[in-house]
Amino acid sequence: MNRPLFLCLVLMFASPGHAGERPLAIAAQGSFFVGGRDVHSDHLATVPTLNSKGTITIDQVYVHYQIPVSAKRRPPVTFIHGCCLTAKSWETTPDGRMGWDEYFLRKGFPVYLIDQASRGRSAANPIAINEVRDGAAAPDSLPQLFSEAHEAAWVTFRFGPDYPQPFPGLQFPIEAQNELWKQIVPDLAPSLPTPNPTVAGLTELSARLKGTVLVSHSQSGIYPFQAAQASRDGIAAIIALEPGACPAPDGDMAPYAGLPVLVVYGDYVEGSPRWGPRLKNCRAFVEAADKAGGKAELLVLPEIGIKGNSHLLMQDRNSLQIADILIDWIVKTAL
């Protein structure tokens, strides 16, 4: 059976992951790294039995991919997670529904999931921590590290105005919130350089894929724009889901000329001291980009009658409805 790696093998030997869905037919799947640089240190370990001197690779970005048997001539989609999370964001939802990784694959898109630099399967740099432990550096040189508490995440993710009170009509499956809390990991982003090393990884990945749609979320929202500033090579379009920041509206719009851009926000935004100003800035950016000859659009879901969405659009109960909107936009603008 010398046909494209019928990794579906045909997945008929396994039960379908979702009732009523056909077994997945996957032509290929795998993983690799992009980016990264080597550094030498005398402080790689503080365990006496281990060698503390040598060279390690840091700032690399892990990429996992799946390619459907029938790609329908659709561009690969690269998903970039946000703060305190990993590529798990795009996989099975906390309450067990189909994630966007599988849904986009079933719709004929090659799917690429990344773990940001120093997060998940993209290893962090231990040197600064070990230098302090070895007495070679002052304690105040320790990298900044944080983890989002349940109480803080509740408000940040806009589940409700205060923990644990939910907004009326909230789309996020609150009954499965404990599964979401398990997804949250320590975040070293404040200690990484600007632009984040993930940006260089996206630039390399986009060129390698020769035309990918970069889909970012929250903290990573600005990364595809920064990648486009470095090089437009291989960037077919940008979808920024509730970005923590859009490019400055009075900045250089040349990198986005002719580039399809869609910025998406959910519900309960206007009353949020964190997200309201960010939406305002993104609205101004979209207007400025359009005036400069760009192809930028802003979609605020309640304005088209879709209400109740939290910050985690890809995990809300209507996540596949949102995915269909994005797919329709990609088909119309990025093919």
Average pLDDT of span 231-242: 98
Strand order in the sheet with 77-80: 26-41, 54-68, 111-115, 77-80, 212-217, 235-241, 260-265, 295-300
Confirm whether 14 is domain-assigned: no
Q: Is pLDDT larger for residue 309 or for residue 293?
A: 309
Confirm whether 6 is domain-assigned: no
The answer on pLDDT for 15 being more than 80 is no
Confirm whether 16 is domain-assigned: no
Q: Which domain holds residue 250?
A: 26-333
Confirm whether 86 is domain-assigned: yes
pLDDT single digits (tens) 135-187: 999 999 999 999 999 999 999 999 999 999 999 999 999 999 999 999 999 99
Look over the chain and give the mean of its residue pLDDT values, rounded to a whole number.
Answer: 94
The answer on pLDDT for 9 being more than 60 is no
- pLDDT given at position 261: 98
| Confidence band of 18 (pLDDT split at 50, 70, 90) | low
- pLDDT given at position 20: 63
* Residue 329's CATH number: 3.40.50.1820
| Confidence band of 22 (pLDDT split at 50, 70, 90) | confident
Total structural domains within the chain: 1
- pLDDT given at position 19: 53
Confirm whether 17 is domain-assigned: no
Q: How far is CA 99 from CA 22, 23, 266, in A?
A: 15, 15, 18
| Confidence band of 1 (pLDDT split at 50, 70, 90) | very low
Confirm whether 75 is domain-assigned: yes
pTM: 0.94
Confirm whether 21 is domain-assigned: no
Average pLDDT of span 98-116: 97
Confirm whether 55 is domain-assigned: yes
> Which of 101, 77, 117 minimizes the C-alpha distance to 234?
77
pLDDT single digits (tens) 297-308: 999 999 999 999
